[in-house]
Structure 1
C-alpha cells in the first residue's frame, strides 16, 4: 500500500486557492496581495531557490523583518523542499554568523536594511553562502524582486510529515543559541490545535507585529492561515503604529508579549482610537504579571484573551488559557490546559509523576514536539529523555488539569536553604501602583548563598523601602527583596522577553 501524504505546511496555500483565490491575503504597508498573487510568488520563489542550488533538505536562511517577503520565503522554501532558518533580526553580526556556521544554509536572503552587518558576517563565516538582497537593489548582489520577475512557477517538491521544515534558533540568552528542529508535522499540528480551538474564525484579520522568527508569532501566522485570515504586517513593534494599524485595517486578532501589552495600554493614543474590532489578543512568550492582566481585561472588556504557554521546542503553546478562563477567579491565574495534541505532566527529579498540587518540572510529549537540537545529539537526548520534552519550568497542576507555571528552574533563587520563585516576587512587586516593570534575580551572598534582588522600572516615585514593605504585606519575609535597583528600562530580547541572564550577571558583578 502506498503511504499517503502527511501533514505539510503548503497545504493551507492550496486550500486558500480553492476557497478564495482573489481574497486579500497580505497587507504590507501600501502593498496588498491576493492569495492567487501570493501563491504565484511562492512558486516563483521556489524556482529562484532551486536556481541557487537549494535541494530538498537544504537550509535557506532569511534575515528580514515581518512582511510579505517573509511569506514568500517561508512557503517558497517549503515549496522547493527546503528548510527555513529565520534569523533573529536583533542579533549582532557575531550571533548571526554563529547560526549560519551551525546551519550551513545553501543561500542567505537578507533585507536591504541589514546590509551594514554583512561585511562582519562574511568575515566570521568561512563558507559564506550566496547572498540575495530583498527590499531594494544593492550593487554586487542579486536582487530578490528581479529574480522573482524572471522566474517561472515551479512545481512543488512535496515534503511532509516528519521531514524537517524549519530550524528555529533559541534566543541565546543563556549561552550559544541552538537550532530547534521542527518538522512539517510538528508545526502544522500545533497550528491546527490553535486554529481549531474555536477562538478564531474564517475571515479574521491577523496583525503581525511580534517578530516572525519567534515561534509564537510564526505559529500564529500558520494558524490564522488555516482559517484564511487576512495578514497585516508591521516591520517591528511600535505601540502607536500598532494602534493605528488596528483601527485602519479593522484587525480582529493579534499576538503580543506582555511588554507589548503594557506598551499599548500606556500609549497616549490608546483611548483615542476605535479598537472595538479586536476580538482576540493572544499573548505569551513570557510570564504576565497579574496586575497587568487585570488592567488589560479592564481596558478591553470585550476582547477574548488567549494565553499560550510553550516554547520553541514545542512548536508553540503546549497549554492555552481561553477567554472563558480569564473570567474565572482562580483559573485566570493559571497558564491553561494542555492543547489537544499534547500530553503534559509534572515530575520530580527522578521523572516520577507527581500528584495534583505538587511542584515539579513540567514535561510534555506529542506530535508538536521538536525532533531535537541541530547537531547536538547529547543535548537532544537529555531534553527528550524517556520520550518527554523536559521544559526546564517548575509548575504544578490542579485537579482540573490547569497548569500553573511557577518559574524557570534556572530562575529559582536559593536563599538560606529556602527556594524562592522569582515570578511570585515579581507578582507582589507589580501590584504596587508605582511599578511599571520589574524583574527579580538572585544576587550572590556569602552568608545566605543568594539574596533576592529586584530590578524595577517606575511609573511614579517610590523608594526601595516602600517596595520592600509592600512585598512584606503579601509574601513571606524571606521571599522579599533585600535590594532594589531602579532603571529606566529593562533589557529585552528580540521576542520581548526580559533578559534575566544578563540581569543575573550584572547582579553578580555588583552593577
Structure 2
C-alpha cells in the first residue's frame, strides 16, 4: 500500500468535495490532485529521483498537503523541517540526510542565505509564499503552472516515505525513518482506536505540521473522507475565531495550547459547538486542565493519543468513553489496534501489573531506524521492541500510566528537548565550568528547561546571558528558561552527576515526575 492511495480514493469518490482550506483559498479534491500531479512533474523536471529527499520549511498551510503528496507521487522522501529550530539545526538535518531541494515560505525565505552559508549543498530552493520569489529561488506557483501532470509512481510498502528529525540523546537530532507501511499502519490504527476524526468532517490543524501528531491526524482525516483546514499556527484568539468561521468538526492540540485556549478571557463568548472530536497528546495533561477543557467543549468527545515519532506515532489511546470515568483521566490509554505494548525491567522482562518499568511497543508502525545511526537504532529496537524511554505501569485493565522518564528528555509545550543538546550548547559559554539540564514543572508549558551551572573560578554570568548564548546555537524552546548557580554538583561514586538529586526539590510534592 502507498500513501497516495487515499488521495486517489478521495478524488474517485468525492472529486468536488472540499479538500483543503487555507484563509480564502479553498480547493476541491479534483483541483488538489491536479496541482499535486503537476508539482510532482516539476520536481521530476528538477531532477528529483526515486528516494531523493525534499524538505519543506514553512508554517502550516495547504502547501503542506500538496508537498507531502507530490513528493510521494514522485517516489521521493519527505523531510519536514522543524520551524522552531535555529538555522544551524535546520542545516544539520538537511546536510546529514543529503537533502538538496528545499521549499520555503515567506516567513523563512530570509533564512536561506544563512543556511546556504552553512552548507552549500542546498542546490534548489522553491519559494512557496504568497509574494514574488526572491532572487535565486524558483516560484512554487510557476512550477505548478508550467508543468504537465505526471503519473503517480505508486511506490509504497517498506520503501522510505519520510525522515522526521527528533531530539538526539547525544546532542544532535536523529532522523527517524518511516516507511509508507509504517505511517499507514499507524493511521489505520488511529482511525479504529482514537476516533479523533469525524467521517466526512473537517479537521483544523494548528499544531505544527512537521510533527507526527499533526501528520497522523492529517493522514487519518483523508482516510475517513474529510477535509483539511489549515491555520498558520497556534494563537488562541485565531483558533476561537477559526472554529466559529470555518466550523471544523475536529482538532488536535497539545496541553500547553489547551491551557492557553481555556485561559482566553473571551473563550465563553464563542460558539464552539461545531467541534465534535477533540484530540490531545504529545505530553501528559493534568486532570484539572482536562476537566476545564471538557467544560469549554461540552459537546465534544475527547480522545488522548500517546506515542512517539518512532512509532509513526501511535502507541496507546484514551478513548472518548474512557473520559467518562474519573479514575482514568490520568491514564495515557490502552494499546491501539495493531500495536503490542508492555512494561519491562532493565533486562526487558515484563513486570507484574502495577509495577513501574519502561514502556516498550512493537507493531507494523515501528520505524525502520534512525538515519545513518545503526548503533542507536539497534539500542532503541532491541529485541524487536521500540523502547520509549518512558517509565510507567499498566493496570489490570491494560491502561498505561506515565510516572517518569528513563531517557534524559524534557517535554516543554509538546516539544521534545534532550538534555544533552542543551548541555552541549551551555558548555560552550566561557564562564561555565560544569552544567546539567533538567525538566522542572511549569504551569504554562508542562515542563520547563532548567539549567544547573557551576561557574569557572573568577567568572560571573546571569540566567539571561546563558539563555541568550544558547539561543544562538539551539532553538529558543530548548534554551533554559531558568537557571540555578551552585558551587558543586551532586556526584555518584563514579563521578556522574546525580540528576535525580537536582530534580527532587522540584518534583517531591507531585504524584508523578512528568508533566
Please, what TM-score do these two structures have when normalized by structure 2?
A: 0.81
Cα distance, 1:338 vs structure 2: 0.5
- More deviation in 288-297 or 53-62? 288-297
Secondary structure of 1:108 counterpart: strand
Q: State the shift of 1:403 in Å.
A: 0.6
Are residues 1:222 and 2:219 paired? yes
Question: What are the residue-to-residue correspondences of 1:139-150 with 2, within 5 Å?
Answer: 139-150=135-146
Output the CA distance in 1 between the equivalents of 2:253 and 2:320.
Answer: 15
> Post-superposition shift, 1:181?
0.1
| Structure 2: gaps spanning 5 or more residues | 411-437, 455-462, 464-470, 488-515
What is the rounded CA distance, in whole Å, between the counterparts of 2:485 and 2:216 in structure 1?
Answer: 36
Question: What's 1:252 paired with?
Answer: 249
CA contact (8 A) 2:203 2:221 kept: yes
Give SS of 1:196's match. Answer: helix
Contact 1:439 1:500 in 2 (8 A): no
Q: Is the alpha carbon distance of 1:358 and 1:503 closer, same or farther for their aligned partners in structure 2, counting shifts above 3 Å?
A: farther
1:113–1:443: structure 2 CA closer, same or farther, 3 Å change rule?
Answer: closer
Q: Aligned residue for 1:33?
A: 27
Counterpart in the other structure of 2:105? 111
Change in CA separation of 1:378 and 1:117 when aligned onto 2, cut-off 3 Å: same
Residue 158 of structure 1, aligned match among 140, 154, 157: 154
| 1:60-139 matches, cutoff 5 A | 60-135=54-129, 136=131, 137-139=133-135
Match of 2:204 among 207, 212, 220: 207
**1:370 is aligned to 2:364:** no
Q: After TM superposition, give the deviation of residue 212 of structure 1 in Å.
A: 0.5
CA offsets 1:205-243 (integer angstroms, 9 cap, x no match): 100110010000010000011112111111111110011
1:509 CA drift (Å): 6.6
In the alignment, which residue of structure 2 is the partner of 1:489?
Answer: none
In structure 2, relative to structure 1, the CA distance for the partners of 1:440 and 1:131 (3 Å cut) is: closer
Give the Å deviation of 1:65. 1.3
- Once the 2 structures are TM-superposed, how far is the Cα of residue 317 of structure 1 from its aligned partner? 2.3
Distance 1:86 1:438, change over 3 A: closer
Which residue of the partner structure matches residue 240 of structure 1? 237
Report if the CA contact (8 A) 1:112-1:138 is conserved. no
- Distance, in Å, in 2 between the alignment partners of 1:276 and 1:100 is 42
Residue 176 of structure 1 deviates from its aligned partner by: 1.3
Change in Cα spacing, 1:88 to 1:352, as seen in structure 2 (3 Å) is same
Write out per-residue CA displacement over residues 294-336 of structure 1, whole angstroms, 9 at most, x where no aligned residue: 2112232221111111111000121000111111121121010
Q: Which runs of 5+ in 1 are unaligned?
A: 1-6, 414-421, 447-484, 486-492
* Structure-to-structure mapping, 1:304-453, within 5 angstroms: 304-410=301-407, 426=441, 439=447
RMSD: 2.7
Measured in 1, the distance between the counterparts of 2:109 and 2:230 equals 22
SS of alignment partner, residue 271 of structure 2: coil
CA contact (8 A) 2:286 2:330 kept: no
**Of 178, 183, 197, the match for 2:179:** 183
